[in-house]
Chain A
Amino acid sequence: MTLFHFGNCFALAYFPYFITYKCSGLSEYNAFWRCVQAGATYLFVQLCKMLFLATFFPTWEGGAGVYDFVGEFMKATVDLADLLGLHLVMSRNAGKGEYKIMVAAMGWATAELVMSRCIPLWVGARGIEFDWKYIQMSFDSNISLVHYIAMAAVVWMFTRYDLPKSFRLPVTVLLGLCVYKAFLMECLDCTAKAILTFYCFNTFM
């Protein structure tokens, strides 16, 4: 029943996107082609990011376990291109704010789903061996859908000129979090590990 398992994972990953598309009213605006365009922009932005990273950031040859804070910070900064891409998509779409956000986020997230999750699922979930990671991967794609919607909304808010002054700072902070999310998680993880080893070392000495 391994094809069945693949079907399970695929349904778990894909159906929320389908439901979101249908129920958010995008279908009434003939937004399918625009979502595909947003997806193409996603591909282009990813390609540029990869080329940039490959050219300007050679492989880090430090010792294992030493986390290169500066290097990883620079790499995470490249993710600003994501925000620029989202802004580009939204500015090309005329319409109400919600329409722009939803189109950009849907297209972006769907492109990410197709590119980064379909092939591992197809190749891995169909095999005899069972692994929980495929369910995890599908669930992860749900979370990234919500994440991209939020990110597109924050970008849109940032570009509005009639945004109240008191909202400027929280919006900027949220934007920063979006970009550096992975980097911050790694930092937290490293510091937690360091504190733990230090504590253990002290208790045993």
Chain B
Amino acid sequence: MFEEASEVFDNMFKSSFPLTFIVFIPAVLILVSPLPAEAAHEFTVYRMQQYDLQGQPYGTRNAILNTEARTVEAEVLSRRCVIMRLVDFSYERYQKALRQSAGAVVIILPKNMSTMPQDIVQQFMELEPEMLATETIVPVYFALEDDELLSIYTQTLTSSSSQGSSSAAEVLIHTATANGFQMVTSGAQSKAVSDWSITSLEGRLAGTGGEDLPTIVLVAHYDSFGVAPWLSYGADSNGSGVSMLLELARLFSRLYTYKRTHAGYNLLFFVSGGGKFNYQGTKRWLEDNLDHTDSSLLQDNVAFVLCLDTLGNGDSLHLHVSKPPKEGTPQYALLKELETVVSSQYPEVKFSMVHKKINLADDTLAWEHERFGIRRLPAFTLSHLNSHREAQRSSIMDVRPHVDLRKLSRNTKLIAEALARVIYNLTEKGAPGDLQIFTEQMQVQEEQLSSVVDWLTAQPRAAQLVDKDSSVVSTLEYHLGRYLKDVRRHYVKADKRDPEFVFYDQLKQTMNAYRVKPAIFDLLLAVCIAAYLGVIYLAIQHFGVLYSLVRRITAPKTKQH
């Protein structure tokens, strides 16, 4: 047959040259065509944090993946993608995967965090900082669970746990029936983002009654932090702080519109970015205002700086200071007013002052007021958390249900009352402790607080994701502009030669899970096909035997003649 075929092709080549093109070009095109991508399942994965802070690298360094999937029970984990569910997650297993230099770790999170039992959530929250503290080259991904992912997980689990001890026949059957999965991510290797600018916003309410008025500064940082940037919604820390700041801005701007209630204090509101990365926004803002400008509100008479951090829950309030306030200073006045308001109007709240000296030898500062303290401005932070090391401040589990709206609005009213008493000097004028200013028309609006918190927690606000064109920044700017004057943006870019912070990209990727069969399966199949072809060959060669057999069966009467 080949001779005849070659004859035909010879004629084709010799006689009609264009015909060969028509035959060959499509063949070549088909040969070099790229393979279509058809996956068993395609899903979005969110990578763990990767950043450098003050030269120190944190988090995972790698981003590319093209490996087989396994679960933790398997013996060999190196260069495989380890899949874990949140319920089975434990630090030892994570360490085991890292020690064997696994190809990647994928942690499957349930779609609805509130279905998880509290102790697992708590345990994971505590593990997050530990995971981030060690720099690793193994890429760690988080994926939200859905049915297909769960089925992939269960299939991988059965195949991983059955490895090792089984007979040869079992292994053979296993290779034919089991499904392996190859996990492939799209996207390139992660690299540093250059020229990322962190945006902060400021606005003011000017006081009345002459020059050189004392200034009160209210600060809250709007960014959030978690083990995966795209999953950090930061409801309590610090969505509650920002919503409280906006509500205070609204209330005091209302008071300041009327001549009778226009007080003799300047109010400066600052919504800072990069708060979770050692308060970069605040740091640069202070430098610009104190070192580079001739006159600024911060240089003159600053009464005190109040930072709001994590106030959306809990029944305690802690005023964190780096130096206990001396008597007769405005800070002392605020401390006293807070105590008065709590004891007379909100007895269920436990109020205390926490004194922590600024430790400059630490990697990061504890609270935002320490930035001001370093520049010798009197500052404190109000929070319902006792310590800055609490896991809640930097966890992806900090989602909207963590904020109790009634407690948030109670805290807002409490702080507003205390501030008003300081600004209007009410205690000296003899006002009783349970005098409530913010009632009826001046009430704290819970719907306002609720809508701001809902909006803030609807998107991830990690500092790597909010750039200067982001909708978060522009909406905050608009809101501040409704109540305050001179709303300005302030940008921070990392220094070129000695950057304080470096962010990396490739934080959200698409992962494909392809169903694959082990290599032995192909060989097995080849052997089976060869056997089948052998049988066919024999059948055709001895077709006569088959034919006579069939004839004997179908026409028996001819035999009997």
Contact = CB atoms under 8 A, between A and B. Distances in A.
Interface string A1-30: 100110110011001101111111001001
A154 B190 CA distance: 67
Contact of B525 (A8, A16, A24, A128): A8
Interface string B1-38: 10011001000000000000000000000100101111
A4 B514 contact: no
Contacts of A20: 540
A99 interface: no
Given A5-B525, A19-B540, A128-B35, 5 more contacts: A12-B533, A15-B536, A23-B537, A36-B8, A129-B516
A117 interface: no
A43 B236 CA distance: 70
Given A19-B533, A20-B540, A23-B537, A129 B1 contact: no
A129 B537 contact: no
Nearest to A23: B540
Given A22-B1, A127-B35, A128-B182, A16 B519 contact: no
A129 B514 contact: yes
Interface string A123-158: 100111111000100000010000000000000000
B529 interface: yes
A8 B4 contact: no
A183 interface: no
A27 B532 contact: no
Contacts of B541: 23
B539 to A, nearest CB: 9
Interface string B62-78: 00000000000000000
Nearest to B66: A128
A33 B11 CA distance: 12
B4 A32 contact: yes
B536 A19 contact: yes
Interface of B: 1, 4-5, 8, 30, 33, 35-40, 179, 182, 184, 514-517, 519, 522, 525-526, 529, 532-533, 536-537, 540-541, 543
Nearest to A135: B525
Given A33-B4, A33-B8, A126 B533 contact: no
A23 B30 CA distance: 33
* B1, B515, B533: most-surrounded residue (chain A CB, <10 A): B1
B35 A126 contact: yes
Given A1-B522, A19-B536, A130-B517, A27 B1 contact: yes
Given A21-B1, A32-B5, A32-B8, A127 B36 contact: yes
Contacts of A19: 533, 536-537, 540
Nearest to A18: B1
A127 B38 contact: yes
A135 B532 CA distance: 13
Contacts of A128: 35, 182, 184, 514, 516
A131 B36 CA distance: 14
Nearest to A1: B522
B519 A1 contact: yes
Nearest to A132: B517
Interface string A102-132: 0000000000000000010011001111110
A4 B520 CA distance: 11
Contacts of B182: 128
Contacts of B522: 1, 4-5, 8
Nearest to A130: B517
4 closest Cβ pairs, A-B complex: A32-B4, A128-B514, A23-B540, A1-B522
* A16, A24, A122: most-surrounded residue (chain B CB, <10 A): A16
A15 B533 contact: yes
A8 B515 CA distance: 18
A26 to B, nearest CB: 9
B523 to A, nearest CB: 8
Nearest to B541: A23
Contact of B39 (A1, A8, A23, A129): A129
Contacts of B526: 4, 7-8, 11
A12 B532 CA distance: 9
Nearest to B179: A130
Contacts of A130: 179, 515-517
Contacts of B35: 123, 126-128
Contacts of B40: 129
B533 A11 contact: yes
A16 B517 CA distance: 26
Contacts of A123: 33, 35-36
28 contacts: A1-B522, A8-B526, A11-B533, A12-B532, A12-B533, A15-B533, A15-B536, A16-B533, A19-B533, A19-B540, A21-B1, A23-B537, A23-B540, A23-B543, A30-B4, A33-B4, A33-B8, A123-B33, A127-B35, A127-B37, A127-B514, A128-B35, A128-B182, A128-B514, A129-B40, A129-B514, A129-B516, A135-B525
Contacts of A142: 536
A135 B536 CA distance: 17
A24 B40 CA distance: 44
Contacts of A7: 526
Nearest to A32: B4
Contacts of A32: 1, 4-5, 8
* B5, B184, B529: most-surrounded residue (chain A CB, <10 A): B529
Contacts of B532: 12
A129 B4 contact: no
